[in-house]
């Protein structure tokens, strides 16, 4: 990588870049469980400094077939954004529903310092966020995890909870048995005791933690009130945009609800089904010790997770560090060299 | 480039990418004057369909040393954004003040379809926008162009006006004679009759068009009232953020003022010095024939240009077409292949 000196260090003249293949190699080198746990650790630290992040509204553009959005965020040193789309009809075209990429910029100079694929990375950061929340909210003796919805997110959740929380039994359910079979194949090597179930109720039975990560774009009731018993931790990921929820509202009235960022979760999360003043606790308050989290072994805790830009910044920052350390970064020729800052025309001539 | 079929055509599994070197090669192949004129043509067409663009506010994040921003925009087929910063103190660090890059997404599927450097490209689109406006507003017999501020934008302006408008004489002034000397060197081959001047007043004398593109981040008076004579077209580029202007307010009261997008120009342009209801004309109205533009050979016309996201979308779209046509695109491995849309985990294994 070409570098040039400036007063206090080196400024890159290329942008470090993590491709899909680069992330695959990074995971192969570091190990996915290790990365998910390290990400959850960084995330926990970030949430204890929650007020240090400048949180901007997303920029969303909707069309008939889906939506695209930019998610910007900043801390004192860095500005970052993620581009991501959601096009449910893509599956019928043989195109993934979601594609994402993101970038980080150095705020002192405004220079881009990292560009990365964020389709797989978003799945990793979502699982790490779930792990961070479950460490704070699930019962210490939780060993059995149910996952309802066995799509793109499922394996990441299972590995994060196995290695970061000590889960040893996994109960799976999906309306499409082929999705469940895919997860069984993908996780056969893990040592997890995996049970394929024929209903959501069967999957939830005996589970200490229930993760819902279904894709249906409507107000569904994937989990009904009768499936939820005292002591459970519910990790609800699939309710993540307006008009899309997974939980029976009756559950929300029995559970203590924890959220990432109330202004966003009130619009996008499960709690869009509740009155706008229904009490919720910010996860950051639990992580910085201002709220106890789970009150007793009988409580039902719910992490109503919608995904927030701070988590993307942490994921980008972690991957940048790891990619630089392992040398798995490419270099993008996106920056003009500073031979003469006023001579852009000269760039074309050289 | 790997492609896979979908119903109505081909979807890329990589993202076409135009690097700084790629843009240099493209300019070398097509020719800068040709590209600037073609861009101005596309821009004119876009401005006649101005209402077809979804115009979002910029996302701006300010720090002590400058600001960074995202400029999103969409038409019916495409969502695009540009990242750009402005850090005036970078020059002292030997780092360019501005760095930009941008991306285009297909709205039907949400997939990224182009990523490009936009530091040089922004200079090109700004010159093309100036040319589009001057074609509509300057006197037909304009032959002499003055450029006050001989920095990064200067050569692009000169070439666009020479080839797109028939300018044959160029009068240059900068507070730093080295900047003027740089432009003289860079444009020595053009056949332009170039005069280096020792004051803004000397440069403006006898000019049919005066372009101001200075970098000073304050309310300056680069052009004073006495320098402006009937029949002139003023092309003011440097007043492009709050607190930064170039023209004596007295000029604004004598000129007919044309702007890109009033809500943005009222905040960022020269007209931030005027009452918020001071009459201005939208350039799109001139281009679609709803306003006559210049009324007489004695009028003073002013294009108060701040740069708008629609222009970036046009520039990206043009460069994508040209880069694909000439094969000067790279491919970025930023997209997950669609073998199994629900098997992101499998991406890491393959």
User: Does residue B6 have a pLDDT over 60?
Assistant: no
Percent of chain A's residues with pLDDT above 70: 95
Please indicate whether, in this complex, the C-beta atoms of A56 and B61 are within 8 angstroms of each other. yes
pLDDT given at position A8 = 39
Q: Following DSSP, what letter does each residue of A291-303 receive, concatenated? A: S-S--STT--EEE
Q: What mean pLDDT comes out for the span B241-263?
A: 93
Residues of A with catalytic annotation? Answer: 240
Question: Pick the residue with more confidence: B224 or B89?
Answer: B224
Choose, from B174, B208, B240, B248, the residue flagged as catalytic. B240
Angle between helices B309-326 and B32-48 (to 10 degrees): 130
Quick: pLDDT tens for A37-49: 999 999 999 999 9
Binning pLDDT at 50, 70 and 90, where does residue A274 land? very high
Rounded distance, CA B121 to CA B128, Å? 10
* Separation in Å, CA of B120 to nearest CA in chain A: 6
User: Does residue B12 have a pLDDT over 80?
Assistant: no
Q: What mean pLDDT comes out for the span B112-133?
A: 97
Please indicate whether, in this complex, the C-beta atoms of A152 and B343 are within 8 angstroms of each other. yes
Please indicate whether, in this complex, the C-beta atoms of A338 and B27 are within 8 angstroms of each other. no
Closest B-chain CA to A25: B348
pLDDT given at position B248 = 94
User: Does residue B37 have a pLDDT over 80?
Assistant: yes
Q: What mean pLDDT comes out for the span B226-240?
A: 93
Q: What mean pLDDT comes out for the span A306-332?
A: 95
Contacts of A98 (CB under 8 A, 6+ apart): A84, A85, A86, A87, A119, A122, A152, B110
Among candidates A59, A86, A336 on the partner chain, residue whose Cβ is nearest the Cβ of B96: A336
Quick: pLDDT tens for B294-345: 999 999 999 999 999 999 999 999 999 999 999 999 999 999 876 667 788 9
Is B75 among the catalytic positions? Answer: no
Rounded to two decimals, the pTM is: 0.93
Q: What mean pLDDT comes out for the span A270-297?
A: 96
Quick: pLDDT tens for B236-251: 998 777 888 999 999 9
Q: What is the mean pLDDT of chain A?
A: 92
Please indicate whether, in this complex, the C-beta atoms of A107 and B23 are within 8 angstroms of each other. no
Among candidates B108, B186, B341 on the partner chain, residue whose Cβ is nearest the Cβ of A346: B186
Question: Smallest Cα–Cα separation from B335: which of A333, A315, A98?
Answer: A98
Among candidates B5, B95, B123 on the partner chain, residue whose Cβ is nearest the Cβ of A6: B95
Tell me what percent of chain B is helix, strand and coil, each rounded to the nearest 5.
40, 25, 35
pLDDT given at position B48 = 96
User: Can you count the helices (H) and strands (E) in chain B?
Assistant: 11, 20
pLDDT given at position A2 = 36
Please indicate whether, in this complex, the C-beta atoms of B335 and A99 are within 8 angstroms of each other. yes
Among candidates B90, B334, B350 on the partner chain, residue whose Cβ is nearest the Cβ of A101: B334
Using a CB-CB cut-off of 8 Å, the residues of chain A touching B335 are 20, 96, 99, 117, 119
Percent of chain A's residues with pLDDT above 90: 83
What is the ipTM score, two decimals?
A: 0.92
Quick: pLDDT tens for B62-94: 998 999 999 999 999 999 999 999 998 888 888
């Amino acid at each position: 990588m070409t570098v040039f000196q400036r007063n206090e260090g080196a400024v890159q003249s290329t942008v470090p870049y993590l491709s899909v293949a680069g992330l695959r190699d990074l995971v192969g080198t570091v190990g996915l469980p290790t990365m998910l746990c390290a990400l959850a650790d960084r995330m926990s630290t970030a949430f204890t400094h929650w007020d240090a992040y400048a949180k901007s509204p997303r920029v969303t553009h909707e069309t008939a077939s889906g939506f695209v959005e930019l998610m910007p965020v900043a801390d004192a040193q860095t500005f970052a954004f993620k581009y991501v789309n959601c096009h449910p009809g893509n599956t019928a075209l043989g195109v993934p529903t979601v594609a994402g990429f993101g970038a980080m910029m150095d705020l002192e100079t405004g220079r881009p310092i990292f560009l990365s694929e964020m389709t797989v990375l978003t799945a990793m950061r979502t699982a790490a966020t779930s792990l961070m929340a479950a460490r704070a909210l699930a019962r210490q003796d939780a060993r059995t995890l149910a996952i309802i919805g066995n799509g793109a997110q499922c394996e990441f959740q299972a590995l994060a909870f196995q290695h970061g929380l000590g889960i040893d039994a996994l109960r799976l359910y999906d309306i499409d048995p082929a999705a469940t079979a895919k997860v069984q194949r993908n996780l056969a090597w893990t040592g997890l005791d995996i049970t394929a179930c024929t209903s959501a109720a069967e999957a939830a039975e005996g589970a200490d933690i229930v993760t819902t990560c279904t894709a249906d774009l409507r107000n569904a009731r994937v989990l009904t009130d009768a499936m939820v018993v005292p002591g459970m931790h519910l990790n609800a990921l699939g309710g993540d945009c307006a008009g899309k929820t997974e939980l029976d509202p009756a559950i929300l009235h029995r559970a203590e609800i924890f959220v990432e960022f109330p202004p966003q979760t009130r619009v996008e999360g499960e709690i869009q089904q509740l009155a706008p003043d229904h009490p919720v606790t910010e996860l950051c308050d639990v992580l910085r010790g201002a709220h106890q989290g789970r009150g007793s072994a009988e409580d039902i805790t719910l992490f109503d997770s919608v995904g927030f830009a701070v988590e993307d910044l942490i994921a980008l920052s972690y991957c940048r560090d790891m990619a630089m350390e392992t040398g798995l970064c490419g270099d993008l020729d996106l920056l003009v060299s500073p031979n003469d800052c006023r001579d852009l025309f000269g760039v074309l001539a050289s």
